[in-house]
């Protein structure tokens, strides 16, 4: 149901002028949509990549002789849809709970009012 436009793949492999600060800016700007990030051959350190790894919900940290960066998990689009459905489901549950609470308060108030009327009739 949701469509969040954004950059999914960002390959900056072989750009030695890209460092840790540039990596932090990239992740800060695209963290909601970025899934594949390749930084092989840049000036980025492994520790800076590890520090931003928690921003990549649907990716895992990979480092070998051919690739360094964040690589998408298996079936990440399915995981994204499941999490979006969970958000919608939780919102619907919240609306239902609020509505039921409002109805319950109204019924309780009606019972209190009826009880007060009965007490007034008995006193008079």
- Where along the chain do its domains lie? 9-73, 75-124
Contacts of 31 (CB under 8 A, 6+ apart): 55, 56
* Backbone CA torsion sign across 86, 87, 92, 93: positive
Average pLDDT for residues 101-116, to the nearest whole number?
95
State if pTM tops 0.85. no
Q: Evaluate if residue 89 carries a pLDDT over 60.
A: yes
Cβ atoms within 10 Å, residue 57 = 13
Report the pLDDT value the prediction gives residue 105, as an integer from 0 to 100.
Answer: 97
C-alpha to C-alpha distance for 104 and 109, rounded to whole angstroms: 9
């Amino acid at each position: 149901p949701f469509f969040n436009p954004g950059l999914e793949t960002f390959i900056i492999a072989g750009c030695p002028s890209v460092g840790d600060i540039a990596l932090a800016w990239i992740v800060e700007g695209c963290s909601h949509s970025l899934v594949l990030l390749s930084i092989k051959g840049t000036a980025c350190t492994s520790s800076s990549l590890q520090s931003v790894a928690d921003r990549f919900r649907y990716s895992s940290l990979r480092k070998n002789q051919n690739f360094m960066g964040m690589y998408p998990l298996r079936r990440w689009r399915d995981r994204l849809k499941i999490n979006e459905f969970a958000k919608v489901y939780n919102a619907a549950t919240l609306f239902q709970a609020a509505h039921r609470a409002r109805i319950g308060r109204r019924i309780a108030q009606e019972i209190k009012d009826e009880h007060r009327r009965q007490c007034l009739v008995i006193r008079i």
